[in-house]
Structure 1
Amino acid sequence: MIRTKTTLVIGAGASCELQMPGSADLLARVVQGYDFTRLGTPQQSRESGILVRHLMKHAEQLGRGHREMVDASQVLRNAARVGRSIDTIIDQYDHDPLVVAAGKIAVAFLIGQAETRANLKESPRTPGELPLLGKPEETWLYWLGQLFTSGLPRSKLERAFSDLTIVCFNYDRAIEHYLPFALVMAYGMDLKDAQKLVAERLVIYHPYGTVGRLPWQQGQEAQAEWAGSEQPWNIHAIASQIRTHSERLADRDWLHRLRLSVAEAKRLVFLGFGFAPQNMELLFDRSLSHNPEVVATVHGIPEGTRRLVARLLKRHCGLEHDDLLVMDPARAFEVARDYALLLES
């Protein structure tokens, strides 16, 4: 059970533990998917064939020509070959709605496809088990479930998420899909009751949107089952739910709520997060003044860059004492496991 007001910030590095694509991998898949040089030949990739159909359908919905939409996808593809992340590339073309649309369609398709291939499945192989294949204990989600349930009686289950806010910069719905199964296994409760609890109590922000609302979640957005299909019938509606950095900055009410969740936290935990400037801008509009504890994974980040990350975190979080900042080169699941005593305190 988490007993200190905590905001958990999740980046692509954490999703990699579920066999989901990281930033570089997703960019590579965009480049491959929008490679139309082999269209109509035996060498045509399945992904390219699907994506070009989605582009043409979108062009028809807009009353634009197929060629215009395909050309926009090639502009995006070229940018992806030199970019750092798909979200920054989509945002830098905010002047061209067709390029933005091509980017959002690619994200909707490729992340939806990745969910079908992840080691987090739609349901457990055996009822009552977790829907994680392989070694569940080598995923941060496994330890997150323990953080929520350890030391928490069933009679007080409504408090499971009361001191936590999650900010997930990934497009997938892994957190929302997994947590009900963790509650089922921990408390022997009905899955629908667990889903209802998560839907009503868990506070989670996705700055760049998601590839659809899970059917049991509240809201009016387009629905998509976890790992339901690589080609959902409503993929264009799902793509419209992807958000850019500029779109989020323009949504002042949403941005205020997000930043308030960070500013009010007594503990900030970053797992698999890359500390990109545009993402830090969404989290902070000024330095914090209350000296929160900060725990951050820096797995895969070069030593020199880690020192810069430490300076950024100290400045943004207003840290006056070095012992308030813990930076660990371990993977997300290792930090969630090894720091459990601190995170539950």
Structure 2
Amino acid sequence: MYKPDTVFIIGAGASAEAGLPIGSKLAEIISEKLDYEFDFDRLIKGNQNIYGSWKKHIQDNKTDEDPNVYLETANGVSSGIILAESIDNFIDIHQADAKTKLIGKTAIAHSILEAERNSKFFVDWETYNRFEPPISMRNLGESWFVLFATLIARRIPKDEVAHIFQNISIICFNYDRCIEQFLTFAISAIYSLEMKEAWEIVNSENAGAIIHH
């Protein structure tokens, strides 16, 4: 078990090995989603779900804001985000603009959720067969995920696994939840535990925080 206050930092882009888009590729995806075009009242270009989210935001907040202003903002984000140093940097540039922040963060969340469903770590829990491993660890090869699991589990016997993360904090510079998903898989595989039990260990009060920045 690690000494108290051991911190692991997971750098930006680490989820690329799980098949998630990072950096400029994620910016391209967001740019495409926010590139709106209408044929009269019919949306013919841009993401319908993100468009619907800010219409609902207007309704829920009972404001008289014009949805077209959000469309103009979205198209501005679509053009500008490609040129920014990073997605976070673009939002920071416009931190005083509530609409840009709302649209940008909504697009990030939508894109990450979509990418998670298409990643190597996605599992449809409704059809999951608990007698089969959700992913093949062999297919991960020399991935940092595998090396990280090896490091975490080093010299931790099964009767102490409930406290495996007790003195550990993980600072993750990625929006997605790949690290939580993988650690659940890894703890289940290493210690021959049911997936639910492994998930509870990763997310228990005994575990150190996984902080996303």
TM-score normalised by structure 1 residue count: 0.53
Per-residue displacement from partner, 1:56-95 (whole Å, max 9, x unpaired)? 2223333222112112212222320210211111122111
| 5+ residue gaps, structure 2 | none
- The structure 2 residue matched to 1:187, chosen from 185, 191, 194, is 191
Task: Name the aligned partner's letter for residue 165 of structure 2.
Answer: F
Query: Which whole-Å CA distance do the structure 1 matches of 2:173 and 2:22 have between them?
Result: 11
Residue pairs, 1:1-345, within 5 angstroms: 6-37=6-37, 39-40=38-39, 44=44, 48-62=47-61, 63=63, 64-122=65-123, 127-131=131-135, 135-200=139-204, 201-207=207-213
Q: Tell me the alpha carbon deviations over residues 226-273 of structure 1, each in whole angstroms, 9 at most, x when there is no partner.
A: xxxxxxxxxxxxxxxxxxxxxxxxxxxxxxxxxxxxxxxxxxxxxxxx
Higher relative contact order (CA 8 A, sep 6+): 2
Distance between the aligned counterparts of 2:130 and 2:39, measured in 1? 43
Q: Name the count of aligned residue pairs.
A: 205
Residue 31 of structure 2: SS of its match in structure 1?
A: helix
Deviation at 1:142, TM superposition (A): 2.4
Amino-acid identity (%): 24
Secondary structure of 1:31's aligned partner: helix
CA distance in 1, matches of 2:86, 2:116: 19
The whole-number CA distance in structure 2 between the counterparts of 1:181 and 1:206 is 20
* 8 Å CA contact retained: 1:125, 1:131: no
CA shift in 2, pair 1:162/1:133, >3 Å: closer
Where in structure 1 do 4 or more consecutive aligned residues deviate above 6 Å? none
> Normalization by structure 2: what TM-score?
0.83
Q: Distance in 2 between matches of 1:150 and 1:193?
A: 19
RMSD between aligned alpha carbons?
Answer: 2.7
Structure 1, unmatched stretches of 5+, are 208-345
User: Is the contact between residue 18 and residue 139 of structure 1 (CA under 8 Å) also seen in structure 2?
Assistant: no
Residues 4/135 of structure 1: CA separation in 2 closer, same or farther (3 Å cut): farther
Instruction: Check whether the contact 2:171–2:212 (CA below 8 A) recurs between aligned residues.
Output: yes
Q: Partner of 1:307 in structure 2?
A: none
Q: Give the SS at the match of 2:74.
A: helix
